[in-house]
Amino acid sequence: MNSLAGRFGGMLCRAQRASLGCRAKSALVSAVPSDPAAYVAGKLAHFDSMQFTPIRESTVSREMTSRYMSEMMEYAETDVVIVGAGSAGLSCAYELTKHPHIKVAILEQNVAPGGGCWLGGQLMSSMVVRKPAHEFLDELEVPYDDKGDYVVVKHAALFTASVLRKTLIAPNVKLFNAVAVEDLLVKQEGDKVGVRGVVTNWSLVTQNHDTQSCMDPQVMEAKVVVTATGHDGPMGASSAKRLESLGALPAGLPGMGALDMNTAEDAVVQMTSEVVPGLIFAGMEVSEARGCNRMGPTFGAMLLSGQKAANLAVQILNRQG
């Protein structure tokens, strides 16, 4: 395991002892009660005697509605939109938390964010990350087994939960889940097209366009769009496919190439770029748009591609002034 446990263990252990009368092995695991039987008895007594503070049902409704609607008002115009909350999109969003003045919206079509990064290859649990992407895991305080050239996180969900927590806690980032990006906001700028935002709808509406009469979407304007919608599929690679249909990318997307871990991971990071003014490709959508190899179940490129996309976005924002 990496050394973070040791580095932070003592500090938190003292805090935990002070508040809980506990003995913790490290900051990365739960506090261990010094007298487990007494701890359990105390907890059960608490649950048996506790009562929630009263609330009106309408208060709950108003809290949710007013917050969501005011966030939709606030994010009608934003600095960066990230399409897709998979490993690349979330790594991008996390990196942007280092710039608290930049307003970031993540749009994820699924109810659950995380994309394909809740499991490793073939639905197995662990996640292999090639160095130097382990430095990102250190930053997120995700523990791993160091195997020399690569590291192994015991469960991919540990990475996804950690990057989600550190991202969502930041005040400059808002995740809109169950929201699909149906199209791009594209402007003709001289002889080029520029992407200036996204066209959105609630995913349940998007899924029912064939069964109901017309249900219009709405628009979120953005100075920069990072698209990280993953592999081609019913929704995946959606920005690449749309740009191809508009003629902004060459006809006949190359699609991802055959599996070669060694070339693919480097290529995805290198080819993470602003392909169309205002739009950056990240994660596996890069290989769909640019034709580099797939890498199979090694996730380092997703993490670093997302981080690179964030830094490109900051550069573009600075350029725009």
* Cβ 274 vs Cβ 75: under 8 Å: no
Q: Is there binding between residue 272 and ligand FAD (CB under 6 A)?
A: no
Which residue from 100, 67, 92, 225 is spatially nearest to 164, judged by alpha carbons? 92
Round to whole Å and give the CA distance between 112 and 92: 18
Q: Is there binding between residue 230 and ligand FAD (CB under 6 A)?
A: yes
Q: Is there binding between residue 269 and ligand FAD (CB under 6 A)?
A: no
The DSSP code for 81 is: E
Q: How far is the CB of 81 from ligand FAD (least distance, A)?
A: 10
Instruction: Select 228 or 316, whichever has its Cβ closest to ligand FAD.
Output: 228
What binding mask, one character per residue, do residues 26-65 give for ligand FAD by CB under 6 A, x or -? ----------------------------------------
Instruction: Select 28 or 114, whichever has its Cβ closest to ligand FAD.
Output: 114
Listed in sequence order, the residues at least 6 apart from 17 whose beta carbon sits closer than 8 Å to its beta carbon are 23, 24
Among 221, 296, 315, 320, binds ligand FAD (CB under 6 A): 296
Instruction: Select 4 or 93, whichever has its Cβ closest to ligand FAD.
Output: 93
Restricting to residues 233-252, name those near ligand FAD by CB under 6 A. Answer: 235-236, 238
Q: How far is the CB of 288 from ligand FAD (least distance, A)?
A: 9
Q: Is there binding between residue 316 and ligand FAD (CB under 6 A)?
A: no
Q: How far is the CB of 247 from ligand FAD (least distance, A)?
A: 20
Q: How far is the CB of 213 from ligand FAD (least distance, A)?
A: 22
Instruction: Select 13 or 89, whichever has its Cβ closest to ligand FAD.
Output: 89
Interaxial angle between packed helices 87-96 and 156-168, expressed in degrees from 0 to 180 and rounded to the nearest 10: 40
Q: Is there binding between residue 88 and ligand FAD (CB under 6 A)?
A: yes
Round to whole Å and give the CA distance between 26 and 44: 26
The count of residues interacting with ligand FAD (CB under 6 A) is: 32
Which residue from 269, 108, 268, 118 is spatially nearest to 173, judged by alpha carbons? 108
Query: Which CA distances in Å does 120 have to 85, 98, 145, 155, 163?
Result: 17, 28, 15, 8, 16
Among 28, 75, 87, 136, binds ligand FAD (CB under 6 A): 87
Q: Is there binding between residue 115 and ligand FAD (CB under 6 A)?
A: yes
* Part of the chain binding ligand FAD (CB under 6 A), chosen from 21-29, 67-75, 112-120, 128-136: 112-120
**Paired tokens of 272:** 């993470």
* Cβ 178 vs Cβ 273: under 8 Å: no
Q: How far is the CB of 306 from ligand FAD (least distance, A)?
A: 7
Q: Is there binding between residue 181 and ligand FAD (CB under 6 A)?
A: yes
Among 81, 107, 226, 279, binds ligand FAD (CB under 6 A): 107
* Cβ 305 vs Cβ 130: under 8 Å: no
Q: What are phi and psi of 207, to 5 degrees?
A: -70, -15
- The strand pair at 104-108 and 173-177 is best described as parallel
**Paired tokens of 288:** 């769909």
Give the helix/strand (H/E) hosting 146.
strand 145-146
At residue 242's C-alpha, the angle toward residues 236 and 248, to 5°, is: 130
Helix (H, G, I), strand (E, B) or coil at 214: coil
Instruction: Select 172 or 238, whichever has its Cβ closest to ligand FAD.
Output: 238
Q: Is there binding between residue 89 and ligand FAD (CB under 6 A)?
A: yes
- Note the residues at the interface with ligand FAD (CB under 6 A): 83-89, 107-110, 115-117, 180-181, 228-231, 235-236, 238, 259, 283-285, 294-296, 299, 302
